[in-house]
Chain A
Amino acid sequence: MQDWTEKNKQLAKHWLAALPAVRAYAIALVPNPSDADEVIQSVALKVVEKFGEYDEARPFVNWALGIARFEVLNRRRTYARDQHVFSERAMEVVEQAAIQVGGECDRRESALQICLAELGEDARLIIEYRYASGLSVQAIAERLGRRPNTVSMSLTRTRRALRACVDRRLDEGDEGRDA
């Protein structure tokens, strides 16, 4: 029913290649997961709408990230408590980083799945309270009968350990995708 033209195929190819960077960029600058997902969808829509304006002399990923930057700014100004984002220079750094390591995103998630399973019971419980239940540090402290500072330090330590575990698995090429 649809007549998918050669241009659409080109768009598909470009978008597939750019998506990891756009996703990483949104995740970095829009901490709320729902918002980040919506930014990605908005970028996708804009990319389709504006594809006719795309200058093929320019890398597609940079063009898509330009659109993403606008969407991120728009979203944070509308909904984030801190309506500022970052300076132009800092945004550029994040864009370049997204191009550089955006493709790691899925492998990092797979690796984290294994690293989480390796956590001790106490660390895992705190991570679950924080990320699965969405509890604040204060609330976790009250649940566990500990001081907020202690919980905060445990969270920091656990995240650091998880990050190191993920980095190590990626270095070793063991992301556990087949686990």
Chain B
Amino acid sequence: MSRVPQDMIDAWAADDLNEADRAALDRWLAEDPDHGVEFLRSMMLHRHLGDLAPVAARAQGRPAERASIDERQPFKLRTHLYLLAAGLMLAAAAVAIYFAVSSLPHSPIPDPTSPPPVATLIESTGSPVFYENDIARDGGEYARGMYSIDSGSAQFLLRSRVTVDLRGKTQLRMYNPSSVYLARGEAAFKVPTGAEGFTVHLPDGSRVIDLGTEFNVALDGNGRSQVVVTKGSVRVIHASTGDDVVFIAGQGAVLDENGFQNTTERRVRIDGTIAGDTSANNSIVATFTSDDLFVGDSVVIDLNVEPVDAAQKQQWFGVFVNPAGPKGLTKAQFGGVLRTDRVSQGNNYDQHAIVVDRSIDFIGVYTDQGIGNGGGRIRMRITLSNGFDALADYELQIDDDGDGEFEHARTGRFMLGPQMAIGIATDFGAHRYTTHDAIGNEKQKNEGTLP
């Protein structure tokens, strides 16, 4: 075997190989099958160093600092592109990995007296993080046992390289690096390749088995739990019914005593009614951050518009979405106008349906033709296809005359910031709305006329 071009392999590993060296490396590879083995083993070393060095640094009490953009290795400059691409690409999931672990025995909940694993508390916000009865510190390593927070979040890295993110009032018992018990609250899990089979046990005895993915599990305190897959796929085994189902990215399941319920229902729903009145209004109904919504989650808005006084003009109704959060109300609006007799008799009837002006992220229609009969309805679903700080997809349907038919429909995308505010935007004064979570619990109710 000729001399190993280690510098070239190292440059390849950093995605920083120039064209001449790539050609030279290509020739070297093609020379001898043993060169392929050498190349593979070197690349494994690079990959394993990337996986293990952060763990080793933490073990030494030196949590790795993050490089600024100027200081990073070349391929790390494109993290956002990769994340975006990952979200797009993983709209479909690797169901096959199910098969890789489907033959695993259905073991009972592990004995808590078995040798303890070590988890590192990477970062926490909000209330103190408790390990058993002691306060845990960021950067500290802790053994098996119960971890709890009252509010905020706490992120752990397990020895299995699984990341566990506790959210809000949560208790989670770690049995070992591959098995945990969620006793209360909500946790998100990110399981890297090689750690498939990581299992979350639920209070009712059900199990969520990871197949190489990211997922979220939340308990509602009434015996129900919700599993949402954000990337890849998970296998969920229901304790009572024995149902054994694989869910892929974008899917979710609510588990109750009867089995899986509402497997396609999303986390948040807003139902509302706009009643005819006189004054213009924009009102925030709900705000969302990455703590509330995950990749694959949707916000569903269903608004009814009651018939209004025909003397009103420029009667626009719809939904506004502020991709940057609750400040400012005009960035993105989705909706339509109530059709009037006069408009429908005009010569530009169709132009009064939906108008899109992407330059200002505005979707909607104004008319000065007066307002008329029947009321209307708008349905909208916003899906976080790629999470926050990424593109979101929307589907919009409008009934502009209250006949129960959606005359207008549109799909599209817009860019979300780090948070999102959803509101009712209307030229009417009064409106009523109710929000629900995915399980159907009423979360927020508002009735009355806004100022």
Question: Residues of A with Cβ closer than 8 Å to B?
Answer: 1-2, 4, 8, 11-12, 15-16, 19, 23-24, 27-28, 31-38, 40-42, 44-45, 47-48, 78-82, 84, 86-87, 89-90, 93-98, 100-102, 104-106, 108-109, 112-113, 116-117, 124, 127-128, 130-136, 138-139, 155-156, 159-160, 162-163, 166-167
Q: Which residue of B lies closest to A112 (CB)?
A: B48
A130 CA / B10 CA spacing, docked (Å): 12
A104 CA / B42 CA spacing, docked (Å): 12
Task: Give B1-58 interface residues, CB cut-off 8 Å to A.
Answer: 6-7, 10, 12-19, 22, 25-27, 29-30, 32-33, 35-37, 39-54, 56-57
Inter-chain contact A8/B13, CB cutoff 8 Å:
no
**Residues in chain A near residue B50, CB distance under 8 A:** 33, 131
Inter-chain contact A1/B244, CB cutoff 8 Å:
yes
Inter-chain contact A93/B45, CB cutoff 8 Å:
no
**Residues in chain B near residue A127, CB distance under 8 A:** 49, 53, 56
**Residues in chain A near residue B33, CB distance under 8 A:** 93, 96-97
Q: Could you mark each residue 216-256 of chain B with 1 if its beta carbon is under 8 Å from any beta carbon of chain A, else 0? A: 00000000000000001000000000011110000000000
**A12-B100, A133-B64, A139-B67 in contact; A94/B47 too (CB < 8 A)?**
no
Inter-chain contact A101/B37, CB cutoff 8 Å:
yes
**Residues in chain B near residue A40, CB distance under 8 A:** 94, 193, 212
**A80-B15, A106-B194, A117-B56 in contact; A45/B96 too (CB < 8 A)?**
yes
**Residues in chain A near residue B48, CB distance under 8 A:** 108-109, 112
Q: Is B89 an interface residue (CB 8 A)?
A: yes
Q: How many A-B residue pairs have CB under 8 A?
A: 234
A156 CA / B46 CA spacing, docked (Å): 11
A138 CA / B404 CA spacing, docked (Å): 65
Inter-chain contact A104/B41, CB cutoff 8 Å:
yes
The contact sample of 10 A-B pairs, CB cut-off 8 A, is A32-B15, A41-B97, A45-B92, A79-B82, A89-B29, A93-B32, A101-B41, A102-B40, A112-B48, A134-B66
Q: Which residue of A lies closest to B58 (CB)?
A: A132
Inter-chain contact B41/A12, CB cutoff 8 Å:
no
Inter-chain contact A105/B49, CB cutoff 8 Å:
no
A112 CA / B42 CA spacing, docked (Å): 12
Q: Which residue of A lies closest to B241 (CB)?
A: A1
Supply 10 further A-B pairs (C-beta < 8 A) apart from A33-B47, A102-B40, A128-B57.
A44-B96, A81-B74, A82-B15, A93-B29, A93-B33, A127-B53, A131-B52, A134-B72, A135-B71, A136-B71
Q: Is B134 an interface residue (CB 8 A)?
A: no
Q: Is B450 an interface residue (CB 8 A)?
A: no
**Residues in chain A near residue B96, CB distance under 8 A:** 11, 15, 44-45, 47-48
Q: How many residues of chain B have a CB within 8 Å of chain A?
A: 82
A142 CA / B202 CA spacing, docked (Å): 49
**Residues in chain A near residue B52, CB distance under 8 A:** 109, 112-113, 116, 131
Closest 10 CB pairs of A and B: A97-B36, A12-B99, A132-B64, A131-B53, A44-B96, A139-B71, A41-B94, A93-B36, A44-B94, A90-B29
A16 CA / B135 CA spacing, docked (Å): 42
Main SS class of interface, B: helix
Distance between A93 CB and nearest chain B CB, rounded to angstroms: 4
Distance between B12 CB and nearest chain A CB, rounded to angstroms: 6
Inter-chain contact B73/A134, CB cutoff 8 Å:
yes
Q: Which residue of B lies closest to A98 (CB)?
A: B40
Inter-chain contact B53/A31, CB cutoff 8 Å:
no
**A31-B14, A90-B26 in contact; A135/B40 too (CB < 8 A)?**
no
Distance between A169 CB and nearest chain B CB, rounded to angstroms: 13
Inter-chain contact A38/B90, CB cutoff 8 Å:
yes
**Residues in chain B near residue A4, CB distance under 8 A:** 102
**Residues in chain B near residue A38, CB distance under 8 A:** 85-86, 89-90
Q: Is B417 an interface residue (CB 8 A)?
A: no
**Residues in chain B near residue A138, CB distance under 8 A:** 71
**Residues in chain B near residue A86, CB distance under 8 A:** 22, 25-26, 29-30
**Residues in chain B near residue A33, CB distance under 8 A:** 47, 50-51
Inter-chain contact A112/B94, CB cutoff 8 Å:
no
**A80-B15, A84-B22, A112-B48 in contact; A37/B72 too (CB < 8 A)?**
no
**Residues in chain B near residue A78, CB distance under 8 A:** 85
A112 CA / B66 CA spacing, docked (Å): 23
Among candidates A28, A82, A124, residue contacting B60 with C-beta atoms closer than 8 Å = A124
Inter-chain contact A112/B45, CB cutoff 8 Å:
yes
Q: Is B413 an interface residue (CB 8 A)?
A: no
**Residues in chain A near residue B95, CB distance under 8 A:** 44-45, 48
Q: Which residue of B lies closest to A106 (CB)?
A: B194
Inter-chain contact B75/A32, CB cutoff 8 Å:
yes
Inter-chain contact B40/A101, CB cutoff 8 Å:
yes
**Residues in chain B near residue A104, CB distance under 8 A:** 41, 44
**Residues in chain A near residue B39, CB distance under 8 A:** 28, 94, 97
Among candidates A23, A35, A124, A136, residue contacting B82 with C-beta atoms closer than 8 Å = A35
Distance between A72 CB and nearest chain B CB, rounded to angstroms: 12
Inter-chain contact B81/A93, CB cutoff 8 Å:
no
Inter-chain contact B15/A28, CB cutoff 8 Å:
no
Inter-chain contact A87/B26, CB cutoff 8 Å:
yes
**Residues in chain B near residue A28, CB distance under 8 A:** 39-40, 43-44
Q: Is B358 an interface residue (CB 8 A)?
A: no
